[in-house]
Amino acid sequence: MALVVQKYGGSSVATAERIKRVAERIVATRKAGNEVVVVVSAMGDTTDELLDLAHQVSPLPAGRELDMLLTAGERISMALLAMAIHNLGYEARSYTGSQAGVLTTSTHGKARIIDVTPGRLRGALDEGAIAIVAGFQGVSQDTKDITTLGRGGSDTTAVALAAALHADVCEIYTDVDGVFTADPRIVPNARHIKQITYEEMLELAACGAKVLMLRCVEYARRFGMPIHVRSSYSNNPGTMVTGSMEDVPVEQAMITGVAHDRSEAKITIVGVPDEPGAAARVFETVASAESNIDMIVQNVSTEATGRTDISFTLPKTDGPAAMAALGKVQDKIGFKGLLYDDHIGKVSLIGAGMRSHPGVAATFFASMADAGINIEMISTSEIRVSVVCRDTDLDAAVRAVHDAFELGGDEEAVVYAGTGR
């Protein structure tokens, strides 16, 4: 008997009909002799509707109360799912994050899981019940207040519970059949990936692939928990995320896939004095605004001016706060101006085999040039090459790179509607 943790996103439980379908899938897993723990997101647009209500009563809702409000969403979906399972003749019990023992930091809106004490879940499983757990939420170890984990939180809940319960596998149900060599909405012949290492998945997630969130993959890697990314609309095998880069046979394909990201903006600090400590002061300022920086490029300064330009990318949502923080220190640091550009796109090529194959970057850049796309910034890691271009060039860039490395398959990938959090 295996212990399976399954996670269903918001689109999988968006309506009563879909909840019933998910219940059937869960019961089928139970019938096959498995112990089942299910993590569920809020139904469809519930979170957005609750956020809308919050903004109607307060322009800047307090984090503690926003978390209290949003966690009502999973409470609704999990109770309905438990009812739908009962209706199929199986015992199911729903648990809030707090009841399931998901202990977090107290940073409302983006709490981190500190520990999981799944005693009540284990008890429910021992009594033959299916345990349904609210994703995305927990309880602060210090303040005992309800917290939420931020974007992708339900995936992280699932992996954390799977690790704490020593599950055999954590199945993440989504609206696609797993991970593809590129987004099938942009590259119709993108190939399905059967298996991928944690490191490659981390790079894909960090580069904008939305199928799994970064933190969830980090958690899985830390605990060696295999993740099976599957579609909740089909019975096709999905993508197994498991194993380390060290285990990848040398003969494996050099390149895993292409990721893209439209969520970043670029800030350029013009005319920074070319002296020791200037860059440090700039990025201390940005860090104090709690902005996450991605790529950084510093131009060579000319002797004539003794000044240089520094550009960096960051999530668009962090842009205004970072600009405000930098504006305040302009005189102190002595730079000449700030430019904000939110019309950029990032395309990244990821592959564990890249390490031992020189020339990948050259082929990448050549494919961009052939497509007439200007490269604005470059960043690389051991298993990744990323470039920034105009956002209007992004789709063409993804297709060009995907073609250049011959990643395409013979069939069109199937795309389903919607996605969860």
| Residues near its own copies, by CB under 8 A | 16, 19-20, 23, 50, 53-54, 56-59, 61-62, 64-66, 68-69, 71-73, 75-76, 78-84, 86-87, 92-94, 99, 120, 144
> Coil, strand or helix: which one is 130?
strand
Q: Which is nearer to its own copies, 33 or 59 (CB)?
A: 59
Closest contact distance (angstroms) between CB of 6 and its own copies is 18
How far apart CA 51 and CA 59 sit, in angstroms, is 11
Closest contact distance (angstroms) between CB of 98 and its own copies is 9
Q: Which is nearer to its own copies, 94 or 386 (CB)?
A: 94
How far apart CA 172 and CA 192 sit, in angstroms, is 16
Q: Which is nearer to its own copies, 34 or 94 (CB)?
A: 94
Closest contact distance (angstroms) between CB of 1 and its own copies is 25
Closest contact distance (angstroms) between CB of 73 and its own copies is 8
Q: Which is nearer to its own copies, 131 or 187 (CB)?
A: 131
Q: Which is nearer to its own copies, 87 or 305 (CB)?
A: 87
Closest contact distance (angstroms) between CB of 24 and its own copies is 12
The tokens 């970064």 sit on which residue?
214
Q: How would you classify the pairing of strands 169-174 and 192-193?
A: unpaired
User: Which secondary-structure segment (H or E) carries 402?
Assistant: helix 394-404
Q: Which is nearer to its own copies, 93 or 399 (CB)?
A: 93
What are the Cα distances from residue 88, in Å, to 12, 28, 62, 81, 229? Answer: 18, 10, 41, 11, 26
Closest contact distance (angstroms) between CB of 232 and its own copies is 16
> Coil, strand or helix: which one is 41?
coil
* CA atoms lying within 13 Å on the CB side of residue 244: 6
The tokens 């019933």 sit on which residue?
20
158, 7 contact by CB (below 8 A): yes
Q: Which is nearer to its own copies, 129 or 160 (CB)?
A: 129
Residue 218 contacts by C-beta under 8 Å, 6 or more apart in sequence? 202
Beta bridge partners, 9, equal none
Helices (H), 278-384: 278-288, 319-328, 330-333, 360-370
- Within 10 angstroms of residue 66's Cβ, the number of other Cβ atoms is 18
Q: Which is nearer to its own copies, 125 or 202 (CB)?
A: 125
Closest contact distance (angstroms) between CB of 317 and its own copies is 20
- Within 10 angstroms of residue 174's Cβ, the number of other Cβ atoms is 26
Closest contact distance (angstroms) between CB of 25 and its own copies is 14
User: Which secondary-structure segment (H or E) carries 120?
Assistant: helix 119-126
